[in-house]
Amino acid sequence: KKSVRDVEVGGKRVFVRVDFNVPLENGKITDDTRIRETVPTIKYLTERGAKVILASHMGRPNGAVVEELRLTPVAARLSELLGQPVTKADEAVGAAVQAQVAELKDGDVLLLENVRFYAGEEKNDAELAKQFAELADLYVNDAFGAAHRAHASTEGIAHHLPAVGGLLMEKELDVLGRALNNPERPFTAIVGGAKVKDKIAVIEKLIEIADNIIIGGGLSYTFFKSKGLEIGKSLVDNDRLELVQEFERKAKEKGINFLLPVDVVVGDKFGADANTKIVNIDEIPADWEAFDIGPKTREIYAKTIAESKLVVWNGPMGVFELEPFKNGTQAVAEACAATAGYTVIGGGDSAAAVEKFHLGDKMDHISTGGGASLEFMEGKALPGVVALQDK
Ligand code: 3PG
């Protein structure tokens, strides 16, 4: 698969798909990681005299113009990061955009409007893909975070232009690929989050490759219930009780250390003002609800992480957004920060947790992909990446 470093870019119009789907609050960007991470690719291109045309989605506007989802604040932030003006187009295709592209000088940067304002984007419409392609001479995909989507700007366009990966795309595939194909051992995978359903495929994959699998978060309580334990009002997936037993059985068969919580923090309600107690997993009161792993579990998990050469983390251990239930996730984040092993943080909630505890610079790699890094770890082919290989 080709990288932007393998092709001539000077003087060319380069269409760069990035993932600028960043969190916004009242029009302000609350986490600019995804923007910062694309700077090396953009600078690589501008320094070599390319005319850079950036495209991204933001949110899920479903093919309509949603004023709050315009990329205007992103253009402003990017301009600060690059130290050069970034022209923001009000559309992503059409005559006005074509005119703006025609005016670009070598080293200029133009940011197109949210590509999901067009219904054809998510449908991977061939006509829209062609319109994108006609703006440029070369396609660079640096949007790892959106690589699991087969959309017009992530997949379709790659069929019309020479198509290569950007530097961020390359870094993500390299780090996650090494974890998947040639992990340093002991390799510990931490799987948390609310739902069993979302983590089935990744747990199945990890049972093939990990040495230790650590389970936490809402999905744990289905494991407890499958063992006949009282889980009170905790989250449960009653349709998957047998499946989670099967996971444990298979892991055991393979000699994997499959770790479940031994104690939990329960609350009398969901909220920052809940009354809380720490109980062993066989003592969850019938009218209470578990929201975090307990202190004994934190200690066991931290020890396992400390002894690992590679740690891959996807999904929080509890409701870390709420003060009474943040300790489990914080302890795991701190253990990842402290271990001498190589740490890979899956995007989405785990990355947000690491940011919340200000431990970002202590991790070896924080993926810019949430869904994308999960699908990659499941062993699935990402359409945005496959399209590059096809060329
Ligand atoms: C993400 O935030 O995971 C990516 O930007 C993809 O967004 P989507 O789930 O709306 O396709």
Query: Residue 348 — pLDDT band, cuts 50, 70, 90?
Result: confident
From 165, 318, 341, 348, active-site residue: 348
pLDDT-derived band at 7, boundaries 50, 70, 90 = very high
CATH code reported for the domain at 183-376? 3.40.50.1260
Look-up of token digits 């579990």: 297
Residue 79 has pLDDT above 70, yes or no: yes
Question: What superfamily does domain 4-170 belong to in CATH?
Answer: Phosphoglycerate kinase, N-terminal domain (3.40.50.1260)
The rounded Å distance from CA 348 to ligand 1 centre is 9
Average pLDDT, the chain: 97
At residue 218, the pLDDT reads: 97
For 35-64, the three-class secondary structure string (H helix, E strand, C coil) is HHCCHHHHHHHHHCCCEEEEECCCCCCCCC
pLDDT at 255: 96
**Same fold for the pair 4-170 and 183-376:** yes
> Residues 10-52: pLDDT tens digits?
999 999 999 999 999 999 999 999 999 999 999 999 999 999 9
Which amino acid, 1?
K
Q: How far is the CA of 340 from the centre of ligand 1 (A)?
A: 31
Q: To test ligand 1's pocket by mutation, which of 19, 20, 141, 375 has the most ligand atoms within 8 angstroms of CB?
A: 19
Average pLDDT of 84-96? 98
Please confirm whether the linkage preceding 324 is cis (ω < 30° from 0).
Answer: no
Is the pLDDT at 347 greater than 80, yes or no?
Answer: no
Q: Which atom of ligand 1 is nearest to the CA of 19?
A: 5
pLDDT surpassing 60 at residue 111: yes
Spell out the long-range contacts of 29-34 with Cβ–Cβ below 8 A and sequence spacing 24 or more. 29/73, 29/74, 29/77, 31/352, 31/355, 32/77, 32/81, 33/351, 33/355, 33/360, 33/366, 33/368, 34/145, 34/368
- Which tens digits make up the pLDDT trace of 120-146? 999 999 999 999 999 999 999 999 999
Binding site residues for substrate, as ranges? 19-21, 34, 57-60, 116, 149
Q: Is 348 a catalytic residue?
A: yes
Residues within a 6 A CB radius of ligand 1: 19, 21, 60, 145-146, 149, 370-371
State residue 390's pLDDT score: 54
**Annotated binding site: which residue ranges?**
19-21, 34, 57-60, 116, 149, 199, 321, 347-350
d(CA 146, ligand 1 centre) in Å? 6
Helix axes 241-253, 200-209, angle to 10 degrees: 10
Atom index in ligand 1 nearest the CA of residue 347 equals: 3
Closest-lying ligand 1 atom to the alpha carbon of residue 372: 3
Residues that constitute the known binding site for ATP: 199, 321, 347-350
Domain-wise residue ranges, the chain: 4-170, 183-376
Q: Is 346 a catalytic residue?
A: no
Q: What's the 3-state SS for the chain? A: CCEHHHCCCCCCEEEEECCCCCCEECCEECCCHHHHCCHHHHHHHHHCCCEEEEECCCCCCCCCCCHHHCCHHHHHHHHHHHCCCCEECCCCCCHHHHHHHHCCCCCCEEECCCHHHCHHHHCCCHHHHHHHHCCCCEEEECCHHHCCCCCCCCCHHHHCCCEEECHHHHHHHHHHHHHHHCCCCCEEEEECCCCCHHHHHHHHHHHHHCCEEEECCCCHHHHHHHCCCCCCCCCCCHHHHHHHHHHHHHHHHCCCEEECCCEEEEECCCCCCCCEEEEECCCCCCCCEEEEECHHHHHHHHHHHHCCCEEEEECCCCCCCCHHHCHHHHHHHHHHHHCCCEEEECCCHHHHHHHHCCCHHHCCEECCCCHHHHHHHCCCCCHHHHHHHHC
Residue-level pLDDT at 306: 98
